[in-house]
Amino acid sequence: MGDKQLLLALGNEYRSDDGLGQVIMHKMQQEYPDRFKYLYHNSDPAALIELWVGQEVIIIDAIEHPERSPGEVVRIHPLLEKLQLPHKQTSSHALNIQEAIALGEVLHKMPKSLLVVGAVASSFAYGMELSLAVRNSIPKIIATLLAETDKPEHDHA
């Protein structure tokens, strides 16, 4: 097994379900401190491309998705699937993953692999509580993340 994958938590803990990334990251750091490299990011996409360049990256974040139910766990391979990821409506970190990927491609600053794992959010209102639906998704998200490290070649991209 090569370098550890980078678990990149996004979101703002003061915007209810947007805090999912940090909650997951803290749990993973406590229970599996050596499984991943851990990093929290809450700024602009331009900085994101500097953080992920050349690495195997798993982003954890709350997802806004009009066609899926709150709490549903989402697992996306943006580099393979060329998906139009849902645009976050009230993100306070201004993340637009599509833009970051597109900019990274132009500037040749891409991660070696990229996976997005999260849950469909129910609320981005101010507050520090995750919604019940998103809280209930946490065990499944953690299981999804652990399964990624069990893959021999981190073959998610």
Q: Closest distance between other proteins and the C-beta of residue 51, in Å?
A: 9
Residue 115 contacts residue 80 (beta carbons within 8 Å): no
Using rule CB under 8 A, residue 131 touches other proteins: no
Using rule CB under 8 A, residue 84 touches other proteins: no
Q: Which has the closest alpha carbon to 139: 37, 38, 52, 20?
A: 20
* Residue 88, CA distances (Å) to 2, 94, 143 in order: 33, 8, 24
Closer residue to other proteins, CB minimum distance, 8 or 73: 8
Using rule CB under 8 A, residue 88 touches other proteins: yes
**Interface with other proteins (CB under 8 A), residue from 31, 80, 83, 102:** 102
Residues facing 59 on adjacent strands:
8, 116
Q: Closest distance between other proteins and the C-beta of residue 94, in Å?
A: 5
Using rule CB under 8 A, residue 80 touches other proteins: no
**Interface with other proteins (CB under 8 A), residue from 4, 26, 27, 127:** 127
> Taking the CB of residue 84, how many other CB atoms lie within 10 A of it?
8
Closer residue to other proteins, CB minimum distance, 46 or 147: 46
Using rule CB under 8 A, residue 50 touches other proteins: yes
Binding stretches for other proteins (CB under 8 A):
12-14, 40-44, 46-47, 49-50, 88-94, 99, 102-103, 106-107, 126-127
